[in-house]
Amino acid sequence: MRLRYSPVTLAPLLFVALACATNPNPNRKVAARRAVTEASIGCLDTLHVIDSVLTIVKMSVTPQDPKVALPRDFEGLFIAEFRSHFKIPPKVPLSVVTGWEPCDSLGSRCAGGVLNIGTVAYATAHGDGTLSNIAVVDVALSPDLTKSVSAALTAMSRGREVPSPGDVDSITLTLQITAEDKPDTVPDVRYVFKATVPHYDSPFSYATMPIAGVDARYPLNARFAGLEGSVTLAFTVQADGMIAAQSIDLVSAGYRDFVISVVDALGRTRYHPAHLGDCAVATRMKQRFVFKAPQ
pLDDT tens, residue by residue, 122-161: 999 999 999 999 999 999 999 999 999 999 999 999 999 9
**176, 75 in Cβ contact below 8 A?**
no
SS3 183: helix
pLDDT average, residue stretch 6-26: 43
pTM value is 0.85
100 plus 19 within the same structural domain:
no
Residues 194 and 72 in one domain: yes
pLDDT score for 9? 43
CATH number for the domain that contains residue 272: 3.30.2420.10
Q: How many CB atoms lie within 10 A of CB 137?
A: 23
Same-domain pairing of 15 and 55: no
Residue 167 lies in a domain: yes
The mean predicted confidence, pLDDT, of the chain is 88
Whether residue 156 is contained in a domain is answered as yes
Asked if residue 90 and residue 64 are part of one domain, the reply reads yes
- Distance, CA of 20 to chain centre: 20
pLDDT for 211 equals 86
Total structural domains in the chain? 2
Task: Give the separation between CA 153 and CA 132, rounded to whole angstroms.
Answer: 10
Please check whether residue 95 is in contact with residue 37, taking contact to mean a CB–CB distance below 8 angstroms.
Answer: yes
Q: How confident is the model at residue 17 (pLDDT cuts 50, 70, 90)?
A: very low
CA 132 vs. chain centroid, Å, equals 19
Question: Are residues 247 and 189 both part of a single domain?
Answer: no
Q: Are residues 125 and 162 in the same domain?
A: yes
Residue ending a domain, among 175, 200, 225, is 200
What single-letter amino acid sits at 137?
V
Do residue 58 and residue 195 come from a single domain? yes
Residues 279 and 140 in one domain: no
Report if residue 1 sits inside a domain. no
Whether residue 177 sits in one domain with residue 57: yes
Cβ within 8 Å of residue 213, ≥6 positions away = none
- What range defines the domain where residue 107 resides? 49-200
Q: Read off the pLDDT of residues 162-209 as tens digits, 9 standing for 90 and up.
A: 999 999 999 999 999 999 988 899 999 999 999 999 999 999 999 999
What's the pLDDT band for 39 if we cut at 50, 70, 90?
Answer: low
- Model confidence at 243: pLDDT above 80: yes
Examine the domain organization and report whether 54 and 182 are in the same domain. yes
Same domain, 75 and 134: yes
Rounded CA Rg of the chain: 20
Residue 2 forms part of a structural domain:
no
pLDDT at 38: 67
Q: How confident is the model at residue 56 (pLDDT cuts 50, 70, 90)?
A: very high
Among candidates 273, 293, 199, 292, which has minimal Cα distance to 39?
Answer: 273
Distance in angstroms (rounded) separating the CA atoms of residues 153 and 165:
16
Q: In what order do the strands lie in the sheet with 283-291?
A: 249-253, 229-237, 283-291
Same domain, 31 and 150: no
